[in-house]
Structure 1
Amino acid sequence: MLHDTDLARHYPPALETTLASDEANRAAVQALDEPAARELAVAVARALMAGALARAGADAECTGAERDRMVEVITARLGGDARMPGGRAAALLGKLALRVTTQPALNLWRGPITGGATPFLGDILRYQARGQALRDHLHRAITADDGPTVLIGHSLGGVALVDLLAQSAACGAPVRGPLLLVTVGSQAPFLHELGALAGLDPDDSLPDGFPRWLNVYDRQDMLAFLAEPVFPGDARVTDHEVSSRQPFPLCHSAYWKTGGVYDGIARAVAEIE
């Protein structure tokens, strides 16, 4: 499971940090009977996963269910029961979890935050300045087949697809083939509200010829925005909420391991067939 979620290389240093921590040692000293020892196992497992996820950052491909399962496995191997609520050990190791996740960001605020945001912001800014080449490429790829076609775009990919489809339809030449657009974790609705979509003027509605639009979002994902409120009354637009049970930014990369995404797409495809 560690390899499947890209956490394998982050687990050993998280283990070393947890076991060497003052919090873990104090909790171990207080685990004087079997219930306390089982409680300690749960708390250690949770602290380990918190540390590994914090080290992995956005590179982790881990759903909430996978995280919980790994906590259960680690707890069982330590002789505990992951269903236990915790207690004194959890309180002590909770301080460790905060220290290995939140405090480094506070201590090194500017560097990590700026560095972490730069790839995404850079992509957005580059697309805003030179997006026509990408839209032209997408148009060629989509129309290379007679269709019908379902288009799926994640994050900036969804923005480019909305731009292309809106721009083409507004010019009276809708892109041939697409019956359904699926955006996942998309900023397109927000950019439209800002007047920053190349394919749609501020306050404009979606033009005739724009296909049905399924907009998938996770409310924990700060880079995902609702489309229905931005295009009120447009029956073509549907928001579909899913939950990976992961915090941001992990949730922005966790859509493809979340079953609700595929369920929503399957229903939308069935409705147009």
Structure 2
Amino acid sequence: MPVVFIHGVATRAGEQYQRGVAAREELIRRLLVDRMAASDPRWAGMQVVSPYWGDLAVRHYWAQATLPPVGTLEDMGVGDDGVAAADLEVADLVKEIGNDATGLEALGAETPLRNAWSKNPHRTVEALLAPIVHSDRSVLRPQDLGITEQARPAQALGEIDGRVLAAGSLAASDEAVGAAIRDALSDDAALTVITDAIVARTEQVAPVEASTDSALESLGPGWLDTLRDRVGEVLNRAKSAPARVATLAALDRYRDGLHGHLTLFMGDVFVYLLRRGEAGSPGPIVERVREAIADAPRSRADEPLIVLTHSMGGNIFYDLVTTYEPSLKVDLWVSAGGQVGQFEEMKLFKASTVVDPPAPPMPPKVAALGGRVRTWLNIYDPADILSFLVEPVFTDPDAGVRIKDLKFKSGVSALKAHGAYYSRPTFYELLGREFGSRP
């Protein structure tokens, strides 16, 4: 079986979604599958499957005309491409670890980016590449690839984004790069070192395996020619990010989209709960995910089944494995930013058993998985108000089953933490440490 990724709510198809999927799958292949295959050959060549169910979720028949108007800032140097989130991430990095000064004093430091890399290179490289992490933009443009007429430009751009992010992780782990940055006399010099390091490592991970169905297979090496300039553009933009948010005025920009995003979020949850169906007659979202897992390609008979879920995707999968497809056997389930524990506390799952009143001081833990999931790693970010623990609620009588909560500190604001899991190389570093698989 392959690696199956089940997305959460408020996810809709489009170019940004396609680029995000391609980048995420590239990271999963290179930073999870390849590393695990080094110690467990059953992982070798595993494909990544990402079923999409956003088209089955909530529809707003009046195109969200009920949303009240919200004032937004204009002409503040922040375009419509959503880069405000990236600016805030760099500003937070500078204020927290870029200088010994605090508050706005840190924003004026002479070498904040160099200092930040010296203290935490992995977080720094993710902040520098934040526009890519957030899928706000790609490193390259379609015209850079010469594929404006190609059928899958978004996938190709997303694959390159994933490789650049993986290359950034490799650069952050390289002590020689760190030494060169510490010797840099300015942030400009440090960014030049970082740019060269990322481009060099992107070229190292560029070969494409035939089994990945890559959109880059027929492109040849030409796309690498402009990569350095484009990476440099992304990194150089970070230098002026603190100045753009020093007055905190950019926070106002979030208000415009936050309200609409919240209605999508809650609407998708309501639609799923209302239309998920019954055992033996699953609703359309459950059936879409079930079919994706059943039809997923496999390279060998003993290939493990790995399920990765984000947010509401974890609730869908829990319903699937406990009610709609109880015969399913899963080797590893990684739930990130999820509410499975909270949903069970509220007894919202089909398999939930209501005990009224609960036995004091609290009811016994739930053992609904029945050994069908051998390892369940639940990842939460303290800054993510939509992520919850599972260990206080769930257990399994099988001694060979592991259920564990893991803390992941993305370092981003609460506004962006919920989406800051699978697009970040440091997330896969956490999984690698848990399995003892290091680069």
TM-score range, shorter chain: 0.5 to 0.7
**Cα drift, residue 148 of structure 1:** 2.5
Change (3 A) 1:232 1:185: same
Give me the whole-angstrom Cα distance separating, in 1, the residues matched to 2:304 and 2:250: 46
- Who is 2:260 aligned against? 115
Change (3 A) 1:10 1:233: closer
**Cα drift, residue 221 of structure 1:** 0.7
- Who is 2:273 aligned against? 128
Q: Is 1:39 paired with 2:108?
A: yes
- Who is 1:86 aligned against? none
Matching residue's letter, 1:258: R
Moved more, 125-134 or 241-250: 125-134
- Who is 1:138 aligned against? 289
Change (3 A) 1:168 1:209: farther
- Who is 1:192 aligned against? 344
Identity of aligned residues (%): 23
- Who is 2:13 aligned against? none
Among 100, 116, 122, the alignment partner of 2:249 is 100
Change (3 A) 1:10 1:209: closer
- Who is 1:29 aligned against? none
Give me the whole-angstrom Cα distance separating, in 2, the residues matched to 1:247 and 1:137: 33
Among 321, 327, 334, the alignment partner of 1:182 is 334
Moved more, 196-205 or 134-143: 196-205
- Who is 1:249 aligned against? 415
- Who is 2:384 aligned against? 221
SS of residue in 1 equivalent to 2:387 = coil
Normalising by the residue count of structure 2, what TM-score does the alignment of the two structures yield?
0.38
Contact 2:351 2:368 in 1 (8 A): no
Give me the whole-angstrom Cα distance separating, in 1, the residues matched to 2:251 and 2:377: 35
- Structure 2: segments with no counterpart, 5+ residues: 1-19, 21-77, 88-104, 113-129, 138-164, 173-180, 189-241, 277-282, 356-365
SS of residue in 2 equivalent to 1:122 = helix
How many residues align? The count is 214
Q: Is 1:207 paired with 2:369?
A: yes
Give me the whole-angstrom Cα distance separating, in 2, the residues matched to 1:189 and 1:236: 16
Change (3 A) 1:76 1:179: closer
- Structure 1: segments with no counterpart, 5+ residues: 16-35, 44-52, 78-92
**Cα drift, residue 205 of structure 1:** 2.8
Contact 1:182 1:265 in 2 (8 A): no
Deviations 1:114-158 (A, max 9, x none): 323111111111111123322222222223356521111111112
Give me the whole-angstrom Cα distance separating, in 1, the residues matched to 2:266 and 2:343: 13
Q: Is 1:156 paired with 2:322?
A: no
**Cα drift, residue 264 of structure 1:** 4.2
Higher RCO by CA contacts (8 Å cutoff, separation 6 or greater)? 2
Among 424, 428, 431, the alignment partner of 1:258 is 424
